Chains A and B, each alone.
Chain A
Amino acid sequence: MTVTTVAELPHERGGSYLTDGTTLASWLLTRDHKRIAILYTLTITAFFFIGGAAAAVIRLNLLTPEGTLVDAETYNRIFTLHGVVMVWLFLVPSIPTTFGNFLIPLMLGAKDLAFPRLNLLSWYLFVASGLIVLAGLIGGSVDTGWTFYEPLSSGYASGALVVVLLGIFVNGFSSILTGLNFVVSIHRLRAPGLTWYRLPIFCWSNYATAVIMMLATPVLAVTLMLVAVEHLWGVGVFDPTHGGDPLLFQHMFWFYSHPAVYIMILPGMGVISEIVPAFARKRLFGYHFVAWSSVAIAVVGFLVWGHHMFVAGESVYAALVFSFLSFIVAVPSAIKVFNWLATLHKGAISFEAPMLYALGFILLFTIGGLTGLFVATLAFDVHATATYFVVAHFHYIMVGGMVSAYFAALHFWWPKATGRLYPESWARFAAILIFFGFNLTFFPQFILGYLGMPRRYHAYPPEFQVWNVLSSAGASVLAAAYLLPLFYLGWSLWRGARAPANPWGATGLEWQTPSPPPSGNFARTPRISRPPYDYPEPAA
């Protein structure tokens, strides 16, 4: 969107949000959305590598059919840790709390989010929840898997279960507060002239995400609290020996956890919708369809939870309805993919690292989405559910998709957030390495699942070894590829070239501010008179 009256502050003259206050207290008590975004980035990076270390143990253990590295109980605790940490401490907060916090006020032409103190509180809740969860997982012995299925969790797990549940309970409040902040900000803080249809898609997709965060998370909180109550005092809710119903737990758990999948992917789709037009130098194709498809996913996403239960003992008629709705929810995702591709048509495309990550996202997300059709198909799911096929499917969406989008965003907005340029060749190398490492890790798991290897197995029959070894080999490539940015991005903080205000020549209000932006974002409130992604059409 073209801005008519923004006074640009040259980097040399004014201070930036990074230099306004250098004490530890100035960071820990900050109310600046950009600083809070940095705090979140550091925190979730730590959690990402903790969860990744657990994944490394899993893949090493599965090199041999006997599972020689760790014993069964340790293995079960490790994959529980991997799931809990990756879902609640990395994927759910990943893009909203970092790039959402950093960019939404900038994209709205606002000085900050609507509730800056609440934003800081939500970070403190997040840190506290992370520490509680890790204390429970590492100190105690919780081996239920991240799904806490009943009656295994309340009836058979150790006392540390309650600690972990408490951590996730607290984590939920952090999530709800972030969602609330986004929804109110997008409604109330848009600059003059910034109508809904002039908002970048990143705002639309984070808006849809925020609504899910506010509506679904309380259900998870209630569910986990009931598990804790049942575990501590034997109140029968889910455990049939106390008169409870195990399927009730699954209904309630997936009522949150399926929409949570969209919490994890929608912001990534928002990132891709920013990056593809910027590098194709072309307006996003089908803006209205891309915008509303996020809302459609958020709404229909609430009605598909039963597809996790096709073999769990739910009624055949329920399965028919949930399968149908699962196919329906795939349509808006397909719409997005086709619109991204159409954006490339007649563009003037360049291939810097953010674009490579974005193209990788589109391919991996497409594979993840298409295999989603497989598992939405009732008879196929009977065979494939609870096998490595499902593991591969959701890692294609969550890791191939969401983590690629996260890295795309990290590189795209790195110059804006830090004021430094990252080394381009290293970044391109890492992007390509991630793509190949990822496919080598997870594609063999589709075959394993189709052959019938169940998930969460500490040891497995010898005929599955070939595919497991390939997967573990891929995981080591992937691990190296994920560590690389830590080094070259870290290096660029001190040695990288100074970034100009708009290194990519992108539209978007955030690029109208200096790099890094000043504390108050804009010297004067911008006025918006043009649609987003307003790249000029080439002359005939």
Chain B
Amino acid sequence: MNGGIPFLPQSASSVAGEFDVLFAALLAIALAMLGLVFLLMFRFCAHYRRSNRAVDRTGREKKSWHWEVGWTAGSLIVFLGLYAWGADLYLREHRPPAEATDIYVVGKQWMWKIEHLDGQREINALHVAVGRPVRLVMASQDVIHGFFVPAFRLKQDVVPGRYVTLWFDPDRIGVYRLYCSQFCGTDHAAMDGMVSVMSSGDFQKWLAANATGGSLASRGAALFRRLGCSGCHAPASGVAAPDLAGLYGRRVALRGGGAALADEGFIRDAILEPAKRPPAGYPTVMPSFAGQLDEEQIVALLAYIKALPRSPQ
């Protein structure tokens, strides 16, 4: 973001370097093929122009199939190589490391709201520590938004009605632009912000300076009591409701057979659409909270439930 004419985007994530190598390879192959097309076209056009009567035009290629097979096979091999390369990096971009820290993101017309696990909240800004992988758990309050940080070479549409995730490992200290990449209405172009990658020490200072009363999970816990969830889900309650401790990441047996992984989406559905995937062994008494909670409240509840320690048994 300094002066001069920009040619290359900044690089600030562990995948950016690999991405740039892939881009260089794509560019080299494209320039080679384009060069070939240009060269042949200009060579043939110049040499075989109608006014050039001196040139020999006899012996035109009759049996064309070996040329056809040649350039078809050649193209296919190059294409499949690019496919495999791009797919490999894409797959790794979708496998977050186990140690990644969760940060919650809620997109709404026209701002990004960020919720850190320790309770810090930001709007149109995201602070992270260099070298510490982050996994964003994102939801939208209204329409589809797109979380896009060019310096990370990463982008993910944030679709309402579900959670999507995006992970990155920031590897260079600096301030980078964040955009909304999916057209979301009038002020789409104003839904931008900054991602600050800080040194570990600076990040700790930032966390301390922006501390709120309690963690995100503690806000969820308060909500959990206020909404009356604890009336049934507390271990001591007499109602037959599942114990939520250690639920996150477990496989849950479903009524009517089968099982589901209790990830963020499962817990979200259990709160908003309890009839969608009811667990086996419990009566259907859970009410739906659809329409009563905004995305930030759901995120707080989710953080609380995920933080509940696994029961001793």
Tell me the A residues contacting B by CB distance below 8 Å: 67, 72-73, 76, 143-145, 147, 149-152, 155-156, 240-241, 245-247, 280-282, 285-286, 289, 310-313, 316, 319-320, 323-324, 327-328, 330-331, 334-335, 337-339, 341-342, 344-351, 359, 362-363, 366-367, 370-371, 373-374, 376-383, 385-387, 447, 450-452, 454-461, 463-464, 466-467, 537-540
Contact = CB atoms under 8 A, between A and B. Distances in A.
A67 B190 CA distance: 12
A286 B65 CA distance: 8
Interface of B: 1, 5-9, 15, 18-19, 22-23, 26, 29-30, 33-34, 37-38, 40-41, 44-45, 48-50, 57-61, 64, 67-68, 71-72, 75-76, 79-80, 82-83, 85-91, 93-94, 142-144, 146, 148, 150-151, 153-157, 159-162, 164, 177, 179-190, 192
Given A341-B41, A454-B181, A466-B5, A377 B82 contact: yes
A376 to B, nearest CB: 8
Nearest to A144: B183
10 contacts: A152-B144, A156-B185, A240-B162, A311-B155, A313-B162, A323-B83, A338-B67, A344-B45, A363-B41, A370-B30
Contacts, number: 264
A458 B48 CA distance: 49
Given A73-B186, A370-B30, A447-B7, A362 B41 contact: yes
Contacts of B143: 149, 151-152, 155-156
Contacts of A145: 183
Contact of A337 (B22, B37, B94, B144): B37
B81 to A, nearest CB: 10
Given A156-B142, A280-B48, A350-B49, 8 more contacts: A331-B72, A349-B44, A351-B45, A363-B38, A383-B154, A451-B6, A467-B5, A540-B58
B22 A380 contact: yes
A451 B86 contact: no
Contacts of B87: 320, 323-324, 378-379
Nearest to A367: B34
B79 A330 contact: yes
B263 to A, nearest CB: 14
A485 to B, nearest CB: 23
B83 A72 contact: no
Contacts of B50: 281, 348-350
Contact of A345 (B61, B150, B162): B61
Contacts of B190: 72, 459
B112 to A, nearest CB: 14
B1 A463 contact: yes
Q: Describe A's contact surface by its main secondary structure.
A: helix
A379 B93 contact: yes
B181 A387 contact: yes
B75 A331 contact: yes
B57 A370 contact: no
Contacts of B94: 316
Nearest to B158: A313
Nearest to A385: B155
A404 to B, nearest CB: 14
A380 B26 contact: yes
B179 A452 contact: yes
